[in-house]
Amino acid sequence: MMNSDIYREKSPLSNEDCFVVFDRRKTSFTFPVHVHPEYELNYVEGAEGARRIIGDSLEFIGEKDLVLIANPDLKHAWKDGDQGHTDIHEITIQFHASLIEQNLDKRQFRGIQQLFRKAAHGVVFGKDTVEKVLPLLRILTLELEKDGFYSVMKLFILLHELSKCDDLRELSSTTHSLLSKNDLLMNQMQQYIIRHLHEDISLPVVADSLNMSKSTFARFLKAATAMNYTDYLLDLRINMAIRMLKEESAIPDIVEECGFNSVSYFYRVFKKMKGIPPLEYRNRFKKQKKIV
């Protein structure tokens, strides 16, 4: 039985769409270990040494990591390693299992059917396959909104190409997985912080929400993320701000919802961490989305 305390992600993928793409630039991994009913293809670049958790598999990834998960009960997450990162590029595609289910028994789709059977354990692809499909993966991030129909066809092509590779490897030894006690504590902590991100949320308050002393919580967080509480909270605020910038949210709304004290403080911190002001970051993202 699946543990009811496992964090179940609610994907923004609606029933009216076939799939959704997230194209993120960030400096750390902050999302908890989780499950969701959607199938997921996840590409990570620039995070060598980070930890990848898929079911009962725990591995340190290389410079480029591409994983397919076709199992609503398989826990997964990417976590920071011992070394810091300054520019992680993550592309995530989530799609409904029903998108292709009705065709899996057809001869032309048998390769993808076999791929999904293996991906119930989570599969990681080798370097040759990653380099082969990466151009198509990048195109999908640019064309989803421009021409939805052709983007779905390209997703089918991408899955077909992945099904033909001979350098994939299954990850988890089981298709069902339970979260460890530390996973559950991290999930509880992250959900609590995200709910209160707009507030001035202190370490003692978060520690108390986990029934920990301040010193125990500080040690726990350091061991799990290699960050102290101040840095972790600031990184979480910045990553939330980046998502809102890409969604065209107004700067005052970002400042309020992400818990920054003022607009000037937000600008100062953002430029220090990302190297450019927030509006320039948004404009660069918009130009990137227009590239064909």
Determine the Cα–Cα distance for residues 51 and 77; give it in Å rounded to an integer. 8
In this prediction, residue 266 carries a pLDDT of 95
In this prediction, residue 32 carries a pLDDT of 81
Determine the Cα–Cα distance for residues 99 and 42; give it in Å rounded to an integer. 18
User: Which has more confidence, 187 or 269?
Assistant: 269
Indicate if the pLDDT at residue 132 is higher than 50. Answer: yes
User: Which domains, ranges and CATH numbers included, belong to the chain?
Assistant: 7-170 (2.60.120.10), 181-290 (1.10.10.60)
The pLDDT mean for the chain works out to 86
Reported as a single tens digit per residue, the pLDDT across 184-219 is 788 788 878 988 999 989 999 999 999 999 999 999
In this prediction, residue 3 carries a pLDDT of 43
Contact in structure between 54 and 122 (CB atoms under 8 Å): yes
Indicate if the pLDDT at residue 83 is higher than 60. Answer: yes
Determine the Cα–Cα distance for residues 194 and 98; give it in Å rounded to an integer. 31
In this prediction, residue 251 carries a pLDDT of 94
Q: How many CB atoms lie within 10 A of CB 40?
A: 21
In this prediction, residue 283 carries a pLDDT of 85
In this prediction, residue 1 carries a pLDDT of 34
In this prediction, residue 37 carries a pLDDT of 87
Contact in structure between 21 and 95 (CB atoms under 8 Å): no
Mean pLDDT: which of 41-45, 97-101, 247-251, 270-274 is highest?
A: 41-45
Contact in structure between 115 and 163 (CB atoms under 8 Å): yes
Q: What is the mean pLDDT of residues 81-87?
A: 76
Indicate if the pLDDT at residue 146 is higher than 60. Answer: no
Q: What pTM, to 2 d.p., does this model score? A: 0.65
Q: What is the mean pLDDT of residues 163-189?
A: 83
| Pairing of the two strands 64-69 and 123-124 | antiparallel
